[in-house]
Amino acid sequence: MPNKKVVVIGAGFAGLSAATHLVHAGYQVTILEKNTTPGGRARKFEAEGFVFDMGPSWYWMPDVFENYFAHFGKKPSDYYDLIRLDPSYTVVFGENEFVEIPADLSQFRALLESMEPGVGPKLDEFLKQAAYKYKVGINDLVYRPSRSLFEFTSPGLLADVVRMDVFQSMAKHVRKFFKDEKIIRLMEFPVIFLGETAENIPALYSLMNYADIVLGTWYPMGGMHEIVKGMVALAEEKGVKIHLGADVSHINVKNGIAKDVTLKNGDKFEADVVIGAADYHHIDSKLLAPDVRNYDEKYWDNRVMAPSSLLFYLGVDKKLDNLTHHCLFFDEQMGPHADAIYKSPRWPERPLFYLSAASKTDPSVAPEGKENLVILIPLAPNLEDGEEIREKYYHMVMDRLEKLTGQEIRSHVIYKRSYAHSDFKADYNAFKGNAYGLANTLLQTAILKPSLKSKKVKNLYYTGQLTVPGPGVPPTIISGHVVSKEVIKENNL
C-alpha cells in the first residue's frame, strides 16, 4: 500500500510539528503556507539592520522543546544556541519601582521575603503545588486529544481534580498564599498568556508559575525565529515538502471525505488526510462548504477570545538605560480596565504594556550602538484599528516609557512599524483579529475547546491555538504532536 498523502495548511509551530511527526511515521507530507516565510505568528523581518521577531518573544517550558526534538533523535542545541536570562524579566510598578526577577530560586525567595516578610514558606508550598500541576498537566493532560470525556475518567485522574485546582480561580488561589499586592501581581502575570484575567482562569494554571520561576526564561540567540528555522530544517531533513506563498482557497469534500486542497492560483494537492493548522475559524467557515462545517457563526461569536495586540517594532539609534531583555509595565493598575483588554469593545484608557529589548542580550539583532525594541499593548479582539488610533497609543506609551526610564527615546527612533488587528486578519486570517487564540477559561478547556477532528469530514483534522491544548508556543508544538497521533491511530499505513 503506497504511503498516504497528508496536506497540512499552515507552517506555524503546530503545522510544522504535526508534519514532522507524520513524515517520521511514514506519511508523505506537504505543508501549504499562505505567507512567503514560515513560522506563522513567529515570523521575523529585517529593516535597516534591525531584526525583529514579529510575534512570540518568551521562551518558557524548555523541556517541551527538548522533548520535541528528542522525538527525532535531536536536541535544540543542534539548531540554535539557548541561554537563560538573568534577570528573567523586569516588572515596573512605577517611577523608581523597578523589580528585577532573578533567575536563581533562592534569590527570588529572598526578593519576596523583602516585599512580604515571612512569605518564604508560603512560596515554597505554592511552588510545590505548582510543580505537581506542571508534572500532571504538561506531561499528561495536554497530550490527550480531548475528544471524549472518558479520556479524563481514570480513578487516578479523578482523584487529582482537587489537587489540580480546576474549579478554583487563579485569583483566589494566589491570595491564599500572598498578601502583598506587588507579589500578587507578579504571580498573576503569567496567566496573561492564557488570555483572561486571573479571576476567570482556573488555578490549575499556577503551573505557569512553576514554568516561570523554576524552569526559567530563556532566549535562542538570533531570536525566536531560530526555533522556526530549526523546526523547518528538521522537517525538510525528514522529507516534508513546504510550499510558501500557497494561499488556500478551498478544501474539496465529496461524500464526507476531503479529496484535495485547492490554492487561489488553481493548483491542487491531493490528500488522504488534511490537517488545518491555520486559523481554525477561517478553515471551518471559509474553506469548507456550509454543510460540512464543524461550527456555525453563533458558536464562534460565543467563544471568549484571548486578546489581540498593538505592536510597535522600533529601531533606536542609541543604547538605552534602565531596560532589560523583557520588561512588564504595571505602572497602571488593571482594576476596572481589565475588561477592556479581554472583552469590552473599546480601547483601554490606561493600557498595560510589555517591552522586549532583545538587543540587550543579542548584539546580532541591531546595528552596533543601537537598540531593537518591540512594544506590545494587549487589547480586546475585534476592535477597529487605524493609523490615527495607533499613533495615539504610541505616544501614550512612549510618554510613560520615557518618564519611567528617565530618558528621551522618541527622537532617537530611526525605524518604526506598527501591527494590530487588521494585520492579524490580513496575514493570518485571525478570527476577530486575535493574537493568541481562545482564552483558557474553564468552559474552554479540554473537551470544551473546538474539536481537533471534523465531525463531518472523515479525514479532516485541526491543530493549533484554537484547539487543544491551547495558546502559546509550547502548547501549539504539543498540539501538532497530539493531532499526529490521532491521524496515525485512525489512518494506519
Q: Report the mean per-residue pLDDT for the chain.
A: 93
Where a domain ends, among 215, 245, 269? 215
Residues 186 and 259 in one domain: no
Residues 136 and 228 in one domain: no
Residue 332 is given by DSSP the state S
Instruction: Report pLDDT for 337.
Output: 45
Q: Is residue 102 part of a domain?
A: no
Rg, the chain, Cα only: 22
- Cis status, amide bond into 87, omega within 30 of 0: yes
Q: Give CA–CA dist 137/64, Å, rounded.
A: 12
The one-letter code for the residue type at 456 is K
Q: Is residue 410 part of a domain?
A: yes
Q: Give CA–CA dist 349/121, Å, rounded.
A: 38
- Cis status, amide bond into 469, omega within 30 of 0: yes
Residues 274 and 356 in one domain: no
Instruction: Report pLDDT for 267.
Output: 98
Instruction: Report pLDDT for 3.
Output: 80
Domain interval for residue 167 = 108-215
CATH number, domain containing residue 413: 3.30.519
Instruction: Report pLDDT for 170.
Output: 95
- Specify whether the CB–CB gap between 77 and 230 falls below 8 A: no
Tell which residue, 17, 20, 22, has the closest CA to residue 4. 22
Q: Is residue 254 part of a domain?
A: yes
Residues 14 and 64 in one domain: yes
Residues 270 and 417 in one domain: no
In sequence order, which ranges of 155-303 are alpha helices (DSSP H)? 155-159, 170-177, 181-188, 207-210, 225-238, 280-286, 297-301
Question: Pseudo-torsion of CA 61, 63, 68, 69, nearest 10°?
Answer: 120
In sequence order, which ranges of 51-104 are alpha helices (DSSP H)? 62-70
- What does the chain come to in residues? 493
Expressed in angstroms, the distance from the first to the final Cα of the chain is 7
Tell which residue, 228, 277, 213, has the closest CA to residue 60. 213
The one-letter code for the residue type at 301 is D
Q: Give CA–CA dist 159/153, Å, rounded.
A: 10
Task: Dihedral sign for Cα 296, 299, 305, 309, please.
Answer: positive
Tell how many helices (H) and how many strands (E) occur in the chain: 15, 19
Tell which residue, 95, 130, 120, 96, has the closest CA to residue 183. 120
Q: Give CA–CA dist 489/446, Å, rounded.
A: 20
User: How many CB atoms neighbour CB 37 within 10 A?
Assistant: 17
Tell which residue, 239, 227, 271, has the closest CA to residue 253. 271
Where a domain ends, among 428, 457, 473? 428
| pLDDT tens, per residue, the chain with 493 residues | 358 999 999 999 999 999 999 999 999 999 999 999 999 999 999 999 999 999 999 999 999 999 999 999 999 999 999 999 999 999 999 999 999 999 999 999 999 999 999 999 999 999 999 999 999 888 887 888 877 665 555 656 555 655 778 789 999 999 999 999 999 999 999 888 787 889 989 998 999 999 999 999 999 999 999 999 999 999 999 999 999 999 999 999 999 999 999 999 999 999 999 999 999 999 999 999 999 999 999 999 999 999 899 999 999 999 999 999 999 999 986 544 455 565 567 898 889 999 999 999 999 999 999 999 999 999 999 999 999 999 999 999 999 999 999 999 999 999 999 999 999 999 999 999 999 999 988 889 888 999 999 999 999 999 999 999 999 999 999 999 999 999 999 987 5
Q: Give CA–CA dist 260/252, Å, rounded.
A: 5
Q: Is residue 436 part of a domain?
A: no
At 18, list the grid cell.
504535526
Q: Is residue 41 part of a domain?
A: yes
Q: Is residue 90 part of a domain?
A: no
Residues 144 and 196 in one domain: yes
- Specify whether the CB–CB gap between 68 and 17 falls below 8 A: yes
- Specify whether the CB–CB gap between 464 and 10 falls below 8 A: yes
Residues 113 and 204 in one domain: yes
Instruction: Report pLDDT for 342.
Output: 56
Residues 387 and 311 in one domain: yes
Residue 161 is given by DSSP the state T
**Structural domains counted in the chain:** 3
Instruction: Report pLDDT for 177.
Output: 98
Residue with cell 481562545: 438
Residues 151 and 50 in one domain: no
In sequence order, which ranges of 272-328 are alpha helices (DSSP H)? 280-286, 297-301
Q: Is residue 37 part of a domain?
A: yes
CATH number, domain containing residue 143: 1.10.405
At 137, list the grid cell.
498537566
Q: Which helix (H) or strand (E) holds 372?
A: strand 371-379
Q: Is residue 89 part of a domain?
A: no
Residues 259 and 316 in one domain: no
Residues 395 and 367 in one domain: yes
CATH number, domain containing residue 59: 3.50.50.60
At 52, list the grid cell.
525583529
At 37, list the grid cell.
516565510
Burial tier of 479 (Cβ tally within 10 Å: 0-12, 13-18, 19+): buried
Q: Give CA–CA dist 119/139, Å, rounded.
A: 29
Residues 259 and 298 in one domain: yes
Where a domain ends, among 215, 241, 267? 215
